[in-house]
Structure 1
Amino acid sequence: MNIPNTKNPRIIVIGGGFAGINFIKKLKKLKAQIVLFDRHNYHTFQPLLYQVSTAGLEADSIAYPLRKIFRKHTDFHFRLAEVNRIDAEHKEIVTSIGNLTYDYLVIATGTRTNYFGNENIENNCMPMKTVPQALNIRSLMLQNIEKADITDDETERKRLLNFVIAGAGPTGVELAGALAEFRKGILENDYPELDEDEMNVHIIEGLDRVLPPMSETVSKKAQKYLENLGVQVHLKTFIKDYDGKTVTTKDGKKFETATFIWAAGVTGALVKGIDGKALVEKANRYKVDKFNRIIGFDAIYALGDIALMESDAYPKGHPQVAQPAIQQGKNLGENFKRMFSNKKMEPFEYFDKGTMATVGRNKAVVDIKKLHFGGAVAWFLWMFVHLWFLVGFRNRVITFFNWTYSYINYDRAARLIIRPFKKGI
């Protein structure tokens, strides 16, 4: 694998998401060799993936090279590879480019899309967990609108302009709002032969309200914002199947659509080799102690979405969003510095900074402890927070410029079919 030998402890990190990069950042001056493995050579700011998929931002606005983040670390090594298995007995990982031993292992692999065992949906829907998937959605959306603009078949045009989203969590709600604004701001100007009313956006949720993790107050506000934008909200509705043309629900509803986006759930992206009491199978998460150490292992840790740390406040583990991952990464980094200095480690305590979601221009909702509000103030707060947590000064500048341009011109400048989408490619 061509990793230099070292007399210092070797720390292997699997995953360059929020948890992984915040952990490594804390180790800049630590006398240790750090090796990071990831399937991509960049960190993805996942909360803004929906903006890439709806032509609001280019992909390089929310992605940042992993090597660049850590270029000032003296003994840092990145390898573009898939980690296939952990051999805990021999303290070794098995990867697509070879094996490597470790002194300490940190798993920060995040989540993957959960299709709940439905192969038809998995094979035919459009997931949105990675940059390539977001670009696929963007291409398919634009291609279908282009096809609708030239077809004489009314039934086919309706199917091409019918957009269906499964899941009314933050991702689904933000995606639905962005698609509705695309219809309002772009369709009339760029496609004068298409009627704006022909493009429909549906969001389907199994529970009785949108944004189930958030307060009922902001949930009602978000649904009102969506409906004012023309989004058709279907609650208490469970999806049964999608064959590539028709979404079928358990209560018999049918939605003819060429664009079905799955935002209905995630599951842990496990690495083979750790099971038994350390694995919570139902959640696909590793059970960790208050120091993020996997139960039953002295030198293996798990961070963020893949870690399940039980407490009185969070009996089912912390929410699978960015803040717990960021905070756990920072805390474990500080604990490694304490451990290497023979000091006592500090248990992790989650500080809930609140939850927010945007529904469209000047429309967002925010939960911060006992404060629940929406509107323009919430939207500007959402914008500031997301700009602040983007990795890299360039990304912040480009994103701010794009948002300012879109705000003034009601435009989405990134509506380019750079890489035409074809199923199976």
Structure 2
Amino acid sequence: MTPNIPDTPQKRIVIIGAGFGGLALAQKLARHDVQIVLIDKNNYHQFQPLFYQVAMAGLEPSSISFPLRKIFQRKKNVHIRITEVTKVNPEKNSIDTALGEITYDYLVLAMGAGTNFFGMKNMIENAIPMKSVSEAIYLRNRVLQNFEDALTAEDAETREGLMNMVVVGGGPTGVEVSGTLAEMKKVILPKDYPEMDFNMMKIYLFESSAEVLEVMSEEASSKGKEYLERLGVIVKTGVRITDFDGKYAYTSTGEQIRTNNVVWAAGIKGNSIEGFAPEIYGRGSRIKVNQFNQVDGYENIFAVGDIALMSGDPKFPNGHPQMAQPAIQQGKLLAKNFLKIMRKEDLKPFEYKDLGSMATVGRNLAVVDLPFWKFQGAFAWYVWMFVHLMSILGIKNKVMVFINWLWSYITYDQSLRLIIRPKTKTGS
């Protein structure tokens, strides 16, 4: 196979990954006289902050996914290849992919981050991660199938294991999943399964540090916990899940919880790639970069977003938060710096502008930390919805998400609780 990319006089910039950072960079550069090769394993951009809403049957997967080719339909200088990159060859200025070798003038690593199970073998095999649309769909299928199975379970212990949910990680994702599960238990599931007693169902949220939403303000953290407990979530802070064998979750305090379901939202690590010395990688498998996002030791290789560890900022000695905004800002600045490189001008160093953070717990319950204002409750929930709605790519997607949210708000219900599995081939 061959990547079939035309040779032109333009400088070729290869971008690996079409997440927030890679996409922002490609969109900015596409307006200029350069050749862009955008590589991703999927043919769509995924809006990660709303994965949990797909997992909890609040949104269709298509509402938070956007086809890459549609974004660049009119950009003849952008070449999209859906493949996996297996190795970087810095000495040859090339990368190895499943389609063949691709050369570059400049390479940008924007592969993002994956789930970090911290080497826990049982957790890798049995827990449910949520770092992609496909994993979110798997979680939705799993949760809905559990309730179907619980209906016909022969004994109370089996039913308890199917219904109980343990969420590990008290960051925004863990809080949002727990809150949504609690609302489903309270409002939606009793209507779908009137024969079942949902007082049996327990939802646990475990956070190893002293508080949930530790990355946010004290007000957000305390309110977040208060909202979760108001919804009926059993919040355990300062406690770790140490093991999960598929039937029992074991805690650092010696507790044993009967559950078939552990949702892992406890940690992420950079998606590493072959071809670099181990010294290139820092904390969390992130690639060390300077203030211009250049990978340590390389002039024409860059990294942006979750994968990039820029430790020069005194406000963020352990690197910038692994969220959308740092990735987008780095992508946009790197696009400008590429033009400066070609004009032989001095590069502009990256300076993160913290626009704030937010998390939603449930209906009319959210927390928002802005640089100049911190607030919680119903107004925060409306702000959260507006910001996320405006951030989604595509007018149609915005409209579909808005309609789904509006319908859910008016009816306290949603019609997306579908168990959809890929068909497996059977022998003739």
Which category describes the TM-score, using the shorter chain as reference length? over 0.9
Contact 1:140–1:420 under 8 Å retained in 2:
no
Q: In the alignment, which residue of structure 1 is the partner of 2:260?
A: 258
Q: Which amino acid aligns with 1:384?
A: F
Q: Which amino acid aligns with 2:307?
A: I
Deviations 1:43-84 (A, max 9, x none): 100000000000000100100111111112121111111111
Q: Tell me, yes or no, if structure 1 residue 326 matches structure 2 residue 328.
A: yes
Deviations 1:339-383 (A, max 9, x none): 223333211111100010000100000111252221011000000
Counterpart-to-counterpart distance in 2, 1:242 and 1:316: 30
2:172 to 152, 163, 170: 170
Q: Tell me, yes or no, if structure 1 residue 394 matches structure 2 residue 396.
A: yes
Q: Tell me, yes or no, if structure 1 residue 20 matches structure 2 residue 5.
A: no
Q: In the alignment, which residue of structure 1 is the partner of 2:300?
A: 299
Contact 1:26–1:330 under 8 Å retained in 2:
yes
Counterpart-to-counterpart distance in 2, 1:342 and 1:393: 39
Q: In the alignment, which residue of structure 2 is the partner of 1:151?
A: 153
Counterpart-to-counterpart distance in 1, 2:145 and 2:236: 26
Q: In the alignment, which residue of structure 2 is the partner of 1:51?
A: 53
Counterpart-to-counterpart distance in 2, 1:185 and 1:275: 53
Cα drift, residue 20 of structure 1: 0.4
Q: Which amino acid aligns with 1:127?
A: P
Gap change, CA 1:209 and 1:271, over 3 Å in 2: same
Q: In the alignment, which residue of structure 2 is the partner of 1:192?
A: 194
Q: In the alignment, which residue of structure 2 is the partner of 1:112?
A: 114
Deviations 1:173-202 (A, max 9, x none): 000001011111212211111122122111
Q: Which amino acid aligns with 1:341?
A: R
Contact 1:187–1:194 under 8 Å retained in 2:
no
Q: In the alignment, which residue of structure 1 is the partner of 2:89?
A: 87
Counterpart-to-counterpart distance in 2, 1:135 and 1:283: 26
Contact 1:182–1:412 under 8 Å retained in 2:
no
Counterpart-to-counterpart distance in 2, 1:145 and 1:67: 38
Q: In the alignment, which residue of structure 2 is the partner of 1:241?
A: 243
Counterpart-to-counterpart distance in 1, 2:223 and 2:68: 38
Q: Which runs of 5+ in 2 are unaligned?
A: none
* Larger relative contact order (CA 8 Å, sep ≥ 6): 1
Cα drift, residue 420 of structure 1: 7.3
Q: Which amino acid aligns with 1:60?
A: S
Q: Which amino acid aligns with 1:260?
A: V
Contact 1:140–1:421 under 8 Å retained in 2:
no
2:272 to 260, 263, 270: 270
Counterpart-to-counterpart distance in 1, 2:219 and 2:250: 30
Identity %: 48
Deviations 1:126-185 (A, max 9, x none): 110011100000000000011112223111111111011111110000000010111112
Counterpart-to-counterpart distance in 2, 1:319 and 1:255: 32
Cα drift, residue 412 of structure 1: 2.4
2:123 to 113, 121, 124: 121
Counterpart-to-counterpart distance in 2, 1:27 and 1:119: 42
Deviations 1:209-235 (A, max 9, x none): 111111111100000000010001111
TM-score, length of structure 1 as denominator length:
0.97
* Deviates further, 35-44 or 149-158: 149-158
Q: In the alignment, which residue of structure 1 is the partner of 2:285?
A: 284
Q: Which amino acid aligns with 1:322?
A: A
Q: Which amino acid aligns with 2:149?
A: K
Q: Tell me, yes or no, if structure 1 residue 374 matches structure 2 residue 359.
A: no
Number of residues of Structure 1 aligned to a counterpart in Structure 2: 421
Q: Tell me, yes or no, if structure 1 residue 97 matches structure 2 residue 99.
A: yes
Q: Tell me, yes or no, if structure 1 residue 32 matches structure 2 residue 34.
A: yes
Counterpart-to-counterpart distance in 2, 1:29 and 1:258: 50
Counterpart-to-counterpart distance in 2, 1:146 and 1:87: 50
SS in 1 for 2:91: coil
TM-score, length of structure 2 as denominator length:
0.96
Contact 1:237–1:250 under 8 Å retained in 2:
yes
Q: In the alignment, which residue of structure 1 is the partner of 2:355?
A: 353
Q: Tell me, yes or no, if structure 1 residue 341 matches structure 2 residue 346.
A: no
Contact 2:30–2:36 under 8 Å retained in 1:
no
Contact 1:44–1:130 under 8 Å retained in 2:
yes
Counterpart-to-counterpart distance in 2, 1:201 and 1:23: 40
Contact 1:291–1:348 under 8 Å retained in 2:
yes
Q: In the alignment, which residue of structure 2 is the partner of 1:226?
A: 228
Cα drift, residue 414 of structure 1: 1.1
Gap change, CA 1:266 and 1:421, over 3 Å in 2: farther
Gap change, CA 1:421 and 1:225, over 3 Å in 2: farther
SS in 2 for 1:77: strand
Cα drift, residue 279 of structure 1: 2.3
